[in-house]
């Protein structure tokens, strides 16, 4: 069964049959609208963010499967912080603030895509992105929070799932 795999970056819950999806799927003889509806259904929770999706099509039976990736760490931070974009001067100007619970939630979401061995390492990566975006955590500079994470201040919050 020959399969064809296509990857797209689509707006969550708002994909349409226009480019890039329609022209890529059209020649395969599949129902493009049905695939677009499925993409919109599975990316609904990421509304307003760009989401990587992979469409796998069996070229003989015309059956398809949609796999959804997770948005970028920066996109998740922007959504959680409720800001439009990161700071233009991240070292001097903060654009938003996250709670430590939000940082841990983002780390859990992104952990599969990261090269972090532990949840604590994933949290530190998310905090690093906060540094470059000018987003504070618990009202403090993210570098200060990274030090606190290393010292074990948030160990009760950053628990590995068993």
Residue 161 falls within a domain, yes or no?
Answer: no
Structure-block tokens of residue 148: 């606190």
Count how many Cα atoms sit within 13 Å of the Cα of residue 158 in the half-sphere of its side chain: 23
The closest of 85, 108, 30, 82 to 125, measured between CA atoms, is 108
58 and 108 share one domain: no
37-67 pLDDT, tens per residue? 999 999 998 888 889 999 999 989 999 999 9
Considering 15, 37, 68, which residue would you say is the last residue of a domain?
Answer: 68
Per residue, the 3-state secondary structure of the chain, as one string, reads CCEEEEEEEEEECCCCCCCCHHHHHHHHCCCHHHHHHHHHHHCHHHECCEEEEEEEEECCCCCEEEEECCCCHHHHHHHHHCCCCCCCCCCCCCCEEECHHHHHHHHHHHHHHCCCCCHHHHHHHHHHHHHHHCEEECCECHHHHHHHHHHCCCCCCCCCCC
22-30 average pLDDT score: 91
85 and 55 share one domain: no
pLDDT of residue 162: 38
pLDDT of residue 47: 86
Domain count, the chain: 2
125-155 pLDDT, tens per residue? 999 999 999 999 999 999 999 999 999 999 9
82: left (phi over 0), alpha (psi -120 to 50) or beta: left
Residue 42 falls within a domain, yes or no?
Answer: yes
**To the nearest whole percent, how much of the chain has pLDDT over 70?**
98
44 and 8 share one domain: yes
86-106 pLDDT, tens per residue? 888 888 899 999 999 999 999
Q: Which domain holds residue 110?
A: 73-151
Tell if the pTM clears 0.75, that is, is over it: yes
94 and 140 share one domain: yes
159 neighbors 107 (Cβ within 8 angstroms): no
pLDDT of residue 123: 96
pLDDT of residue 161: 58
Residue 159 falls within a domain, yes or no?
Answer: no
Structure-block tokens of residue 96: 């938003």
The closest of 88, 101, 90 to 129, measured between CA atoms, is 90
CATH number at residue 135: 1.10.10.250
CATH number at residue 58: 3.30.1550.10
């Amino acid at each position: 069964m020959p399969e064809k795999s296509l990857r797209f970056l689509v707006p969550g819950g708002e994909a349409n049959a226009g480019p890039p999806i329609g022209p890529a799927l059209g020649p395969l003889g599949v129902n493009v609208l049905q695939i677009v509806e499925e993409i919109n259904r599975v990316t609904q929770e990421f509304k307003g963010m760009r989401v990587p999706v992979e469409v796998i099509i069996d070229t003989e039976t015309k059956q398809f499967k949609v796999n959804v990736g997770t948005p970028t760490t920066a996109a998740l931070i922007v959504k959680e912080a409720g800001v439009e974009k990161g700071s233009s001067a991240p070292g001097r100007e903060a654009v938003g603030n996250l709670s430590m619970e939000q940082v841990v939630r983002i780390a859990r979401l992104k952990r599969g895509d990261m090269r972090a061995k532990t949840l604590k390492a994933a949290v530190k990566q998310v905090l690093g992105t906060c540094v470059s975006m000018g987003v504070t955590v618990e009202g403090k500079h993210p570098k200060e929070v990274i030090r606190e994470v290393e010292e074990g201040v948030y160990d009760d919050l950053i628990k590995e799932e068993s």
